[in-house]
Amino acid sequence: MTESGQKKLPIFAFFIALIVKIFFLLTHHIQEDAFITWRVAQNLMDYGVIGFNGATKISSSTTHLYVFVSYFFNLIFGKENFIEPLLIFNSILFTIGSVLLSHLIFKDNKNKAIFIVLFGLLPPSIKISILGMEYGILFFLEMALLYYGFKKEKKWAVLLLPALIMFTRIDTVIFLGITFLVDLIWTKKIRWNYIFGGIIALAVSLTFNWFYFGEVVNNTIVAKKLRYDGNFTLKQNWDFFNLNYGNFWGMIKLPNDFNPFTIIIAIFELLCFIYLVRQRNNRNYFLWIIFVFGWVKQIIFLSQKSLFDWYYWVPQILLFVPVIIFILEIKEKRNLWLSLFAVYYIVPMLAFQAVHSIATGNGEWNYRRHIGLYLDIYEKDKNQWILLEPAGYVPYFSHLKTIDEVGLVDKDIQNEIVKDKDNYWLNTVKNRNPKYLLSYKNLFTEKDSAFYQENYKLVKEFRIKDHLQSQNPLLEKIYRLKPSGTDYNLYEKIRK
């Protein structure tokens, strides 16, 4: 191949990886929390306020930058048509980020191209790209910082990009801090422009939170900490880890407590990393940054009992980078190893993600969205309140004012949790009198059933088993193989 052809290989790889991800849009697998961000963006359009319920200010979304990006996509494409363009935009940014990462770790364009494709087909890469969360933007910004700020040493990058990164998610202080420490140890000098960039980033994020919301950190962080806080014994900590560690290092989380597959992957990642950094290579600088960051972030979030798997998507794929490098740089029978790696790892992972996305897309887009659409037709007064969990699909498509069990979109329920955590749900119902309750439980057979029977009536039962059919026999098999969704009961307040 000619030299110009070699230079174009990463560009071809970019489009291959992007096209594969775009096919996943057909599954309608969109993360619940994305709809929280999108409702906040639409609330900004309708009321001029960053909030969730009318003119009340609240940082319901974990990301400020993505709220503004979503706001502009709503303005450009309209509320009915913005989702697909935004998901494609996220996928483009993530794939550009993978191209920048390839420039950090390879010199050969052929290796860059293969890396971009293999990296882009990993399950976390697909989820970052098409599930609607802010991580496509975040990954792009973080890789842009490493490439332009630390490889090309552009002053604008180390001054501007940290602010955009932290304005996307405040917990990215971990990434920015690890990058600073590795750079300090590696170069043995202080990069003052980067320090100024970090100060600017902190100032922008914290002052925006303080002057707009009257808080230092996002409400979402406070609410989750308050709702899920608990003292664990040593045994409970071990049981928690054993149940959830598949989120932390593996590409997939299998539905059982003990997952040896994840342990094998974690060990292989570590061995590949040790093998690579023992070689004298300038890329080791970036390998240290991404690998230390991957481990530190996961350990911090694990210690805080963070259950949500999207926190771990970026660390998962970054920790896997040494494995792909190792496979691509094997000298003996390289093509054989690469073929075996693709056939026995990449393709099964891609197939698993396809099945998972199809099943989850059915459980969320076809089923949970259906609940929101039902309520949208059933209740015409959009000033009525509903108490439920979670605050994604149903509030977004029903357009009702919302109280969520965790307090992400409504702060008043947090006061009830502080006063009486065991009875906060019932106390909220009594004090706030929401017109609708959407519960996983049968409230007429639970504790305090007499109160609910006296004040509420059952409107409709929503059952996931009723949404496992399809005219396509293959889709129906997948729906039944991996049913996704939760049964709900909808209650309406009785007029007296």
Among 329, 351, 384, where does a domain finish? 329
Q: In 10 A of CB 332, how many CB atoms?
A: 6
344 inside domain: no
In Å, how far from its chain's centre is CA 300? 17
**For residue 356, pLDDT beyond 80:** yes
Distance from C-alpha of 362 to C-alpha of 472, rounded to nearest angstrom: 13
Which residue in the block uniquely carries the two structure tokens 């191949």?
A: 1
Omega of the bond leading into 390 within 30 degrees of 0 (cis): yes
The HSE-up count of residue 474 (CA atoms within 13 Å, CB side) is: 3
Contact, 175 vs 289, CB < 8 A? no
Angstrom CA distances, 299 to 174, 276, 311, 314, stand at 11, 23, 11, 14
Q: What H or E segment, with its residue span, contains residue 215?
A: none
Residue 450 has pLDDT above 90, yes or no: yes
pLDDT band at 112 (very low <50, low <70, confident <90, very high): very high
Predicted pLDDT of residue 48: 95
Are both 118 and 239 inside the same structural domain? yes
Full domain range(s) for residue 440? 359-493
> Does 164 lie in the same domain as 40?
yes
H helices within 232-341, ranges in order? 234-244, 246-249, 260-277, 284-303, 313-328, 334-341
- 309 lies in some domain: yes
Q: Cβ contacts of residue 131 below 8 Å, gap of 6+?
A: 29, 30, 31, 34, 310
Taking the C-alpha atoms of residue 338 and residue 293, their distance in angstroms, rounded to an integer, is: 27
440-447's contacts with Cβ under 8 Å and 24+ in sequence apart are 440/389, 440/486, 440/487, 440/488, 440/489, 441/489, 442/489, 443/489, 443/491
State pLDDT tens for residues 297-340.
988 887 777 777 888 899 999 999 999 999 999 888 888 889 99
Instruction: Confirm whether 345 is domain-assigned.
Output: no
Same domain, 164 and 208: yes
Task: Say what angle helices 313-328 and 260-277 make with each other, to 10 degrees.
Answer: 60
Of 35 and 496, more confident: 35
Last-in-domain residue among 314, 329, 344? 329
270 and 387 together in one domain: no
Q: What distance in Å separates the CA atoms of residue 315 and residue 333, rounded to the nearest whole number?
A: 30
Same domain for 363 and 313: no
Mean pLDDT of 425-434: 94
Residue 79 lies in a domain: yes
Q: Nearest CA to 394 among 404, 406, 383, 408? A: 404
The pLDDT assigned to 287 comes to 97
Strand partners, 432: none
Do residues 296 and 371 both lie within one domain?
no
pLDDT score recorded for residue 2:
63
Examine residue 343 and state whether it is found in any structural domain, yes or no.
Answer: no
- What are the CA-CA distances from residue 465 to residues 16, 372, 389 (Å)? 37, 18, 20
Instruction: Report the distance separating Cα 327 and Cα 330, nearest Å.
Output: 6
Question: What is d(CA 299, CA 291) in angstroms, rounded to the nearest whole number?
Answer: 12
Residues 417, 279 within the same domain: no
In a domain, 350, yes or no: no
Check residue 308 and give its pLDDT: 77
Lookup: tokens for 135: 């991580």
Q: Which two tokens stand for residue 172?
A: 């990215």
Residues 117 and 219 in one domain: yes
Is there a single domain that holds both residue 64 and residue 199?
yes
Same domain, 207 and 100: yes
pLDDT, tens digit (0-9, with 9 covering 90-100), for 385-398: 999 999 889 999 99
Counting the structural domains of the chain, the total is 2
- State the Cα–Cα distance between residues 43 and 37, nearest whole angstrom: 10
- Model confidence at 483, pLDDT cuts 50, 70, 90, reads confident
Mean pLDDT of the chain: 90
pLDDT digits (tens, 9 = 90+) for 180-216: 999 999 999 999 999 999 999 999 999 999 999 988 8
* DSSP, res 330: -
Which of 286 and 241 is assigned the larger pLDDT?
286
Backbone torsions φ then ψ of 238, nearest 5 degrees = -65, -45
Q: Say if residue 159 is in the same domain as residue 284.
A: yes
Domain boundary among 285, 312, 329: 329
pTM greater than 0.85 (yes/no): yes
Residue 341 forms part of a structural domain:
no
User: DSSP letter string over 350-366?
Assistant: HHHHHHHHHHHHIIIII
Vertex 294: Cα angle to 350 and 113 (nearest 5): 45
Whether 322 and 253 share a structural domain: yes
Residue 230 covered by a domain: yes
Element (H, E) at 187: helix 173-187
